[in-house]
Amino acid sequence: MALIESGGAIDCVTVERELDALFKPENRLLIVVHNNPDPDAIASASALKFFLERRYGLEASVAYGGAVGRAENRTMVKRLGIKMKRLARLKLKNYDRLAFVDTQPGAGNHALPPGRKCHLVIDHHPRRRTTRADLVIVQPEIGATATILAVLLKTCGVEIPSALATALSYAISSETQNMKREASRLDIEAYLWVYPQSRIRILGEIIHPRLRHSHYETLLKALKAAEGFRTLICVHLGDVPQPEIVSEMADYFLRHERIGWVLATGRFRGNLVLSLRASSGKKSAGTVIRRIVKDSVNAGGHDLVAGGFIPAGKMRREEIDALERRLTADFASVMGYTQAEWKRLLEPEKPAEKTGGNDVKEIPGKII
């Protein structure tokens, strides 16, 4: 096993040599990304597919489990013409090469059955002890897996189409929140390389998509359900229309000026989906969520971002309610609070008192 896991640099010479030993024109490659793929997974897998097909003349497919649900992600796939296949519909025996991108073989966030030989892993999450492949490229110091692919394409002198540049540009900016979250020097350099080659108007459509009505229903439910204690917010969304909205709500509440940590959960197709966000890296969010969930396979992440799920398909609704209450208590306990008194973030609005007569008052000011 060749392992490339350095402190922020990518040895592209070694990567090229190892890739040349792995792939031939007759190979058929399956590229697996995590379930409900985000822009980083989608763009990175698309970039790897483009690079290997162009360099070796092989045939590659990108496969995923779950769904592409978030509005930005759907717009990205549609407007950029990105082709992906549902893993459940593929015949795995038709592929003789296997790669994992933005996930790893031992993780619980992808739909590939265990036991298949893995040839390539490219990821920016910390390497799992069980991760094995002919070539493992893991760069946890980098903010986005898309950066690894962009650096590889640039170093190898590969000219990329504008659609791929747009995908990589959005992936790097969204994964790092416009370089605010866990961005490295390589992330910034990669972004500055792909952005000028992007389709700027389409990028704007991706960043500002049209939103479904269910988005606002979930936002209203989140505002009503959110509870706070000191610098913590915990919000249990109940049933959600798609799993990505759980992390979207976690990001939303982290913007509160007094908040340092947010735990959000949502119920989706037999799983309780979790998302954890932190405003600083004093504690690792990945470590915190594993302690809360007590599961290192189905939960993990970085210093500021983490996620996971708990299988709940066989649990009754009241059992899931109890599980959510336990997670709230464990969240506070892991953060050092054993006697947390959670309160609603927003108190219900009291009915207005009737004053009689005409209740409409004129408000001075200018209408814009």
Residue 166 CA to residue 196 CA, distance in Å, equals 9
Domain ranges of the chain: 2-207, 214-344
Looking at 3.10.310.30, 3.40.630.10, 3.40.50.170, 1.10.150.120, the CATH number of the domain 214-344 comes to: 3.10.310.30
Has residue 365 got a pLDDT over 60? no
Strand partners, 261: 232, 278
The identity of residue 327, as a single letter, is L
Q: Judge whether 2-207 and 214-344 match in fold.
A: no
Q: pLDDT tens digits, residue range 224-247?
A: 999 999 999 999 999 999 999 999
Q: Across residues 8-37, what is the average pLDDT? A: 91
For residue 367, the model assigns a pLDDT of 39
**For residue 245, what is the enclosing H or E element?**
helix 244-254
For residue 113, the model assigns a pLDDT of 87
For residue 281, the model assigns a pLDDT of 75
For residue 7, the model assigns a pLDDT of 56
Decide the pairing of beta strands 232-239 and 120-123: unpaired
Residue 142 CA to residue 184 CA, distance in Å, equals 6
Which CATH fold topology does 2-207 show? Answer: inorganic pyrophosphatase (n-terminal core) (3.90.1640)
User: Residue 248, class by beta-carbon neighbours within 10 Å (0-12 exposed, 13-18 middle, 19+ buried)?
Assistant: buried
Token pair belonging to 58 = 């092989």
For residue 363, the model assigns a pLDDT of 45
